[in-house]
Amino acid sequence: MDSFAEPRKPLDNSFSLADVRAQVHKLEAELREKEVPLSGRIIQVSHYLPVTCAFSRRARPADIPSPPATPPAKTSDIPPSPVEAQRTDSALPAPREGAPQPTSSQWNVTVRYGHSAMVSGIDSLAATHEQIFIGWTGDIESSSTAVPQAAAQSASGPSDPSASKLPSSSLTDEDKKELEELLKEYKDRDEPQDGKKIHYVPVWLDDKDAHGHYDGYCKQTLWPLFHYLLWQDVATEYASADAHWASYAAVNAAFARRVAEVYRPGDLIWIHDYHLLLVPSLLRQTLPEAAVGLFVHTPFPSSEVFRCLPRRKEILDGMLGANLICFQTYSYSRHFTSSCVRVCGYEVTARGGIDVQGHVTAISYCPVGVDAERVAKDTLRPGIQPKLDALRALYEGKKIIVGRDKLDVVKGVVQKLRAFEKLLQDYPQWIGNVVLIQVTSPALTDSPKLERQVSEIVAHINGEYGSLDFIPVHHYHQTIKKDEFYALLSVADLGVITPLRDGMNTTSMEFVIAQERSKKSPLILSEFMGISSTMNEALQINPWNLSEVAAAMHRGLTMSDAEKAERHQQLYKTVTTHTSHTWAAILAKKLLERLGSQNMARQTPFIPKGELEKHYMKAKKRLFLFDYDGTLAPIVKVPSAAVPSKETLEALETLTADPKNVVYIISGRDGGFLEQHLGHIKNLGMSAEHGAFIREPGAAAWSNFTESLDMSWMSEVLEIFKYYTERTTGSHIEVKKSSITWHYRSADPEWGLFQCHQCQDLLENNLARKRPIEVLVGKKNLEVRPLAVNKGEIVKRILYFHPDAEFVFCAGDDKTDEDMFRALLLFPPGATRARLDPPLSVTLLAGSKEEADKYAPVDLALERDAVFTTAVGHSSKRTLAVWHVTTPEEVVEHMLYLVRVANDEAAAATAASSSSL
């Protein structure tokens, strides 16, 4: 990642929803031409379904309490009344046992309010795509309409069963199946009438896990962190950031399982928000071919804040399972990228993606909008005009400032009130001439301390600047109806929205749309909001700077009509162009673009043990060619700490003990390191410094391929590396006999990468043009080596001297190992046999041209299917290898597996021969 790159481009307001849909259609046609599977379906995964579910169990005979026994009738002298006689005559006969009873659904499904922008965007996609909406049902509400009260109370506990929550454990599989069937027929009111079907699929969660996940880890740990608060800042008692981690992981696993159940090849998967950050990596494990996108609706904090999270690596790795991660703004995407680099040490690709073991996750941003058409229709509701007229009459002759926020610590209500007080202090002409109408809707979690603080500030302002006929601040702590809300937005002379940190804020966009048919009043926005970067014509302020906010209020109230109209026109164009509908279509477009990229074009399959075993057992001679770092040993921060494990040594010793096997380590390490850690293994061949030196199995001396090459360039490269080492704290130079490497793993990751790019540019555009060298960018290093020497040449040399080999297993993890895989592309199209010319690594050691000419081409005994080139890393890693494994441990595991198979067969053969005797 280049921290000094140009900032993001401003959003384009010139496109339309039809344009985006046309681009999506074109992309799908192109992908189908390339035979990329597309199902035409999009799976949307959100924490909640857009519906609430109420359950009332049908009465069963066992549920109805038995009445007391009827006492025997006594003869009465008093004749029955006419009413009683009528009741007796009209009594219904008892139903026959076994007669069918009238049935009705036990479930009632209604619209869930909240996340309206996301839901309306998903609904709009139904015009072009079939969709599956996966989410939690939420708490199941219990209703007493069909269950006797006594039974309901005994089951649920609360005295008012109609308001209670039903434990999920009380639902049977039949109950759940009934809801799933009901949801198949459910249609949201905003779905296009002639559109494609949206299937709603519930995720069933254990109550403890569900609330530990949402009320616990999401709301007490992640939500504060993403809004620049630490958990102890918002908790009312001792807070642990890990208290609910198990629930968070369990719920994410349940969602991943549900997605896997409904997935079809060719589906696009979009996962929404911070509740489900582990789902992408879980899906990557179960559905490696799937196209997965993750959209984060909240802000994403800077790396210095995010790194405080104890589970930071698990969260980042979970997110990086996606093919594409999208944020609200460019700055949030930068914060995420910086966290991946600084916290996890991952590499950033040239295009800004994050490389995790070869799997590249693209990073992008796309702001969410509102459903502009729906909001515009809502502003025309007949109930609005009377309320609008009443507000105008009530505040006649006064300017009206409007604010509407949740009463939440990050919404900046306290700062807004203090800034209004500052307005009255600095601009006393407004006393008696301006009112602030502040509506605060209750937050998800009550904060009595914040409520008290707001009430005290309101009382102070009204006491200081108010009078019998003038109240400066009108504070309403309640949820207002839609008509009142739009009347308030329409009557405003100034809208003020001052969150301390926020992702998307729909009120600001609704304000702009409401003002289109009203005063075209200006809008003040906090610069810490996600949408502030797209609404440039608003008056943007720092909510902590009270004088700046007060000055912006004064400017907004005194702004000329011409400036108001000009600003409003630009804001209105932005809000009506970047709607929730275009947002959803752009997400589909971005994931399709990712699907067509080279990184996803070919998935390398996992190496099949059965095929490996078959060819291994059949071969009379076998070649094993291993890279070291990242293949037999994991990558570590300090290179000298990368020592082979006990299992690695066991596997190498057992393989080399078999006379049928020829085993080589082909590494970028120097010969001294390899001899120190692996030199004791008899019959192990070694190549050092990317093929510059070789030590044959059983030999003690090294052969140097660079003796006949011009190595005078090394001193020039050394001077360049020294220049960058002096300017990059934590970097160092490693001088080998045939190459020089500049390491920056211990440097600041962003600065180190920037310096690496600068140094690479200098070497490639100057020195490499004049000298026979190549520049290699490795993992946190930059290496310069002779052009004629690489790992591929060593592989060709080994093959040349072992033409009778019938099996090859070659494993590596980085760019230098691609030379080995390239060298093993031996078979031309359609050919079943291969021929190998004398490689440079053979002729360089010949001593003279005459000796070199003695080497002739050789015919190889290899078959195409007996060559197992294996990349270590993710299946989507760009590689020439045919197969892949994920970790170095799996390479060792496969080696030990082959050894065990051979030993078992040998033991069986010995036992068979003994029994025959």
The residues annotated with a catalytic role in the active site are: 627
Q: Where are the alpha helices (DSSP H) in 596-659?
A: 598-601, 609-618, 646-657
- The sign of the CA dihedral 304, 306, 311, 317 is negative
Quote the CA–CA distance of 397 and 433 in Å, as a whole number.
7
Return the bridge partners of 783, or none.
Answer: 741, 776
Exposed / middle / buried, residue 762 (Cβ in 10 Å: 0-12, 13-18, 19+)? middle
Please list, in sequence order, all residues whose beta carbon lies within 8 angstroms of the beta carbon of residue 398, skipping any fewer than 6 positions away: 432, 433, 434, 435
Please list, in sequence order, all residues whose beta carbon lies within 8 angstroms of the beta carbon of residue 503, skipping any fewer than 6 positions away: 297, 298, 299, 328, 529, 530
Beta strands in 720-843 (DSSP E): 732-735, 740-743, 773-777, 781-786, 807-812, 835-836
Please list, in sequence order, all residues whose beta carbon lies within 8 angstroms of the beta carbon of residue 409, skipping any fewer than 6 positions away: 229, 234, 447, 450, 500
How close are the terminal C-alpha atoms of the chain, in Å? 70
Q: String of b and e for 856-871 (b: at least 16 CB within 10 Å)?
A: eebebbbbeebbbbbb
CA of 52: how far to CAs of 120, 135, 545, in Å? 17, 11, 42
**Closest Cα partner for 129 from 20, 49, 202, 36?**
20
Structure tokens at 915: 């029994």
Exposed / middle / buried, residue 680 (Cβ in 10 Å: 0-12, 13-18, 19+)? exposed
What are the counts of helices (DSSP H) followed by strands (DSSP E) for the chain?
34, 33
Query: Quick one: DSSP state of residue 505?
Result: -
Structure tokens at 368: 């969410």
HEC sequence for 45-83: EEEECCEEEEECCCCCHHHCCCCCCCCCCCCCCCCCCHH
Beta pairing, strands 703-704 & 732-735: unpaired
**Closest Cα partner for 815 from 232, 205, 280, 355?**
355
Backbone torsion region of residue 787, taken as left when φ is above 0, otherwise alpha when ψ lies between -120 and 50, otherwise beta: alpha
3-state secondary structure of 382: coil
CA of 231: how far to CAs of 222, 248, 335, in Å? 8, 16, 20
Quote the CA–CA distance of 422 and 338 in Å, as a whole number.
38
